[in-house]
Amino acid sequence: MSNPSYHLDTLCIQGGYEPASGEPRIVPIAQSTTFKYDSAEQVGDLFDLKTPGFFYTRLANPTVAAVEAKIAALEGGAGALCTASGQAAISYAILNICQAGDHLVASSALYGGTLNLFAVSLKKMGIAVTFVAPDAPDDELQAAIRPETKCIFGETIANPALRVLDLARVAGVAHRNGLPLIVDNTFATPALCRPLDFGADLVVHSTSKYLDGHACALGGVIVDGGRFDWVASGRFPGLTQPDDSYHGLVYCEAFGPLAYIVKARVQLMRDLGAAASPMNAFLLNLGLETLPLRMARHSSNALAVARHLAGHAKVGWVNYPGLDGHADHALVQRYLPAGQSGVVAFGVRGGREAAMRFMNRLRLAAIVVHVADARTSVLHPASTTHRQLNDEQLAACGIGPDMIRFSVGIEHAGDILADLDQALAGD
Ligand SMILES: *Cc1c(COP(=O)(O)O)cnc(C)c1O
């Protein structure tokens, strides 16, 4: 089933797992921390990375490996590493190439957790981040790059600002400087956009969102495009010089296009250990089977919601990448032609208080600290996910006090619109 010419819909169902005759049709849950071998020498070779194989679930597990192979295929990448959460995936994606004294350039329109990671935790580790607007022109991006810069980071569709990143242009600036572009593709998913096709080098996800799609299992993944030339760049000694913790192994020499993702697994996952559980990988795999169907429905429902709200007297503004008047309309046509995902942001007239009252009146849409699953849900970012940010940071990531983040599910659109109408009618 590893035939790369299959369409995405087929890979979602059949990718990553190919049972031999008599084996389970469905990817089994290998609920085991460890794996048995016949000789001590075999285990020694596994530890030295001389032979591939499973030996401890922190490093690799058959169920997790199947879903990693599927997601790598969906994104058009060379390899993938699943993690315990999206935050772990982003942390590892950065720490795999950055250490104290290093620097990265990031879009300012980011998920709140990523902003905290970059502005607080990475800073404590001695890694500096320069934030630039998601539409910063080339010269501004260029001016932010320093000799110690290691990557550029952005989100395909920013959560919750819903700005769309000009992937090819930002990748161009990154590559002219010998830097990889890392893209968080959580909101778009490979069903709507594959950043690697537009020049990104690494893709990260919170699989807790649309990839699982049912709000069942926390998870994250890093996908390595396998095309970035770490050696030619000259900025990445961790990949091009010997690793003493593996008897002087050089990742780029030993693993070629898989150097980055192998290093993330055998060094960072070994040492930091935020591994995906086999049970969660099984649930994620099940969710992935319906990804294209769900993303089409999320997108059409969200467009219906956005259009409806745009014409509503009680609504001050609506932000949805699928609306004609969206700030990034041209980028949407290039990067998200098949659908713009399920999240709509809008402002209820009357500010913060009116927004809270509106949310309390909703019946179908539930107030949850989550987005991007099958059930319609609603959140007030300024008082929840982005609560730790000051007003200036809130403004920089495009969040006002009246902003409602509405995650449109795959229920019948008519029921979602009716719920919005009755909740808006209350004031
Ligand atoms: C939720 C989210 C994350 C964090 O993922 P967790 O699985 O909650 O750790 C990262 N990026 C984006 C865009 C998200 O929406």
CA 19 / ligand 1 centre spacing (Å): 32
The model's pTM is 0.96
Cα 302 to Cα 26: distance, rounded to the nearest angstrom: 32
In the structure, which protein residues have their CB atom closer than 6 angstroms to any atom of ligand 1?
85-87, 111, 113-114, 155, 159, 184, 186-187, 206, 208-209, 218, 220
CA 206 / ligand 1 centre spacing (Å): 4
From the alpha carbon of 186, which atom of ligand 1 is closest?
13
Residue 293: closest CA among 32, 12, 39, 104: 12
Q: State residue 51's pLDDT score.
A: 85
In Å, what is the CA distance from 243 to each residue of 62, 248, 252, 257, 377?
26, 5, 11, 17, 46
| Strand order, beta sheet including 103-107 | 79-83, 220-224, 202-206, 181-184, 149-155, 103-107, 128-132
| Protein residue with its CA nearest to atom 8 in ligand 1 | 86
From the alpha carbon of 371, which atom of ligand 1 is closest?
15
Residue ranges and CATH numbers for the domains of the chain are 8-287 (3.40.640.10), 292-424 (3.90.1150.10)
Q: State residue 47's pLDDT score.
A: 84
In Å, what is the CA distance from 146 to each residue of 51, 111, 257?
39, 24, 26
Q: State residue 1's pLDDT score.
A: 47
Q: From 82, 85, 87, 205, give the residue whose CB has the most ligand 1 atoms within 8 Å, as the site to mutate.
A: 87
HEC assignment per residue over 245-256: HHCCECHHHHHH
CA 157 / ligand 1 centre spacing (Å): 12
CA 87 / ligand 1 centre spacing (Å): 6
Q: State residue 34's pLDDT score.
A: 96
* Cβ atoms of residues 230 and 236 within 8 Å: yes
CA 240 / ligand 1 centre spacing (Å): 30
Q: State residue 4's pLDDT score.
A: 58
| Protein residue with its CA nearest to atom 12 in ligand 1 | 111
Alpha-carbon dihedral sign for residues 13, 279, 224, 49: negative
Q: Which two tokens stand for residue 3?
A: 């035939």
Beta-strand relationship, 149-155 and 103-107: parallel
Q: From 108, 209, 386, give the residue whose CB has the most ligand 1 atoms within 8 Å, as the site to mutate.
A: 209
From the alpha carbon of 158, which atom of ligand 1 is closest?
13
Q: Could you state, in chain order, the average pLDDT of each consecutive group of 10 residues for the chain (427 residues)? A: 78 96 97 95 87 93 98 98 98 98 97 94 98 97 98 96 97 98 98 98 98 97 98 98 94 97 97 98 98 98 98 96 96 98 96 90 94 95 78 76 94 98 91
Q: State residue 3's pLDDT score.
A: 56
Q: What SS3 state is found at 215?
A: coil
CA 138 / ligand 1 centre spacing (Å): 27
CA 86 / ligand 1 centre spacing (Å): 5
Cα 377 to Cα 343: distance, rounded to the nearest angstrom: 10
Beta-strand relationship, 79-83 and 220-224: antiparallel
Alpha-carbon dihedral sign for residues 131, 136, 140, 142: positive
CA 223 / ligand 1 centre spacing (Å): 15
